[in-house]
């Protein structure tokens, strides 16, 4: 059988940690008297921690010292870690295990491609670390999505050319990164938000084994 590299984003694709990032950022923004909408939150998805705080400060027209910036980043992460400490495999999004099992059964190389520095902690908590042939996360990159770096490193680690890689992404920045890397992008979420992806599905329950087979055989 043909081989393709399958690259999974983490937050919002494998687990619904996007809601925890939102809660933690919202709390932090409130403490600075900054309000941001769900729509603005879409722009934080897939975006690094540093860049996310920069964006929130810009929305609130605030300038702060480097010291306070570092302090706020640490606080946000502490809050977020508090949420994910409670996680287990029941928090995996619907049909993710089915798709991972299908890919493994067909000997397809699988990588993580996440902006999160907490990715390994989460994979351990939900017990799927061993499903991955490569793990590329926020600790391995110098440029955040929408830069394609994270996915290009993943392709390299899987020994696949970018054109033979397929990326599952829930964020605007991540789909742009996958497209820029010359990969097939599969948006997980709403067509209104992820219209620039090659394919968009609401979630993995809409992605059939036959569809995946057709991607492998392409």
What are 6's strand-pairing partners?
110, 166
Where in 21-40 is the site for ligand B16 (CB under 6 A)?
A: 21
116 binds, options ligand B16, Mg ion, none, Cβ within 5 to 8 A by partner type: ligand B16
Please say whether the beta carbons of 95 and 58 come within 8 A.
no
- The Cα 151–Cα 73 span in angstroms is 25
Q: Looking at beta carbons only, is 123 or 216 nearer to ligand B16? A: 123
Q: Mark residues 46-65: x for contact with ligand B16 by CB under 6 A, - for none.
A: xxxx--x-------------
Tell me whether residue 11 is one of the annotated catalytic residues.
yes
Q: Looking at beta carbons only, is 48 or 108 nearer to Mg ion? A: 48
- The Cα 153–Cα 101 span in angstroms is 23
Where in 146-165 is the site for ligand B16 (CB under 6 A)?
A: none
31 class by beta-carbon count within 10 Å (0-12 exposed, 13-18 middle, 19+ buried): exposed
What are 186's strand-pairing partners?
168, 199
Whole-number minimum distance, CB 214 to ligand B16, in Å?
26
59 is an annotated ligand-binding site residue: no
H or E stretch at 42: helix 38-42
Q: Looking at beta carbons only, is 106 or 120 nearer to ligand B16? A: 120
Please say whether the beta carbons of 128 and 135 come within 8 A.
no
Q: What tokens were used for 2?
A: 């043909």
170 is an annotated ligand-binding site residue: yes
Q: What tokens were used for 43?
A: 């722009």
Whole-number minimum distance, CB 75 to ligand B16, in Å?
12
Angle at alpha carbon of residue 106, lines to 103 and 108, rounded to 5°: 60
Tell me which residues touch Mg ion (CB under 5 A).
Answer: 9, 11-12, 46, 170-171
11 is an annotated ligand-binding site residue: yes
49 is an annotated ligand-binding site residue: yes
Q: Hey, how many other C-beta atoms are within 10 angstroms of the C-beta on 88?
A: 9
Whole-number minimum distance, CB 2 to Mg ion, in Å?
27
Q: At what angle do helices 18-31 and 49-59 cross, to 10 degrees?
A: 40
Q: Looking at beta carbons only, is 173 or 216 nearer to ligand B16? A: 173
Question: Residues annotated in the binding site for substrate, as ranges?
Answer: 9-11, 25, 44-49, 52, 76, 114-118, 145
- Interface residues with ligand B16 (CB under 6 A) are 9-12, 18, 21, 44-49, 52, 77, 114-118, 138, 171
Question: Residues annotated in the binding site for Mg(2+), as ranges?
Answer: 9, 11, 169-170
Residues serving a catalytic function are 9, 11
């Amino acid at each position: 059988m043909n081989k393709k590299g399958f690259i999974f984003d983490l937050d919002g694709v494998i687990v619904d940690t996007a809601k925890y990032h939102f809660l933690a950022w919202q709390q932090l923004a409130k403490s600075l008297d900054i309000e941001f909408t769900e729509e603005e939150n879409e722009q934080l998805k897939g975006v690094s921690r540093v860049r996310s705080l920069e964006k929130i400060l810009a929305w609130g027209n605030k300038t702060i010292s480097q010291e306070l910036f570092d302090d706020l980043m640490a606080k946000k992460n502490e809050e977020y870690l508090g949420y994910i400490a409670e996680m287990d495999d029941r928090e995996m999004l619907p049909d993710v295990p089915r798709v991972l099992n299908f890919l493994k059964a067909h000997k397809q190389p699988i990588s993580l491609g996440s902006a999160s520095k907490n990715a390994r902690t989460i994979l351990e908590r939900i017990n799927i670390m061993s499903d991955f042939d490569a793990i590329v996360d926020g600790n391995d990159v110098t440029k955040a999505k929408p830069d394609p770096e994270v996915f290009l490193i993943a392709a390299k680690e899987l020994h696949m050319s970018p054109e033979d890689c397929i990326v599952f992404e829930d964020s605007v920045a991540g789909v742009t990164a996958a497209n820029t890397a010359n990969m097939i992008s599969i948006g997980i979420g709403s067509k209104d938000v992820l219209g620039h992806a090659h394919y968009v599905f609401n979630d993995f329950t809409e992605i059939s084994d036959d569809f995946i087979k057709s991607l492998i055989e392409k």
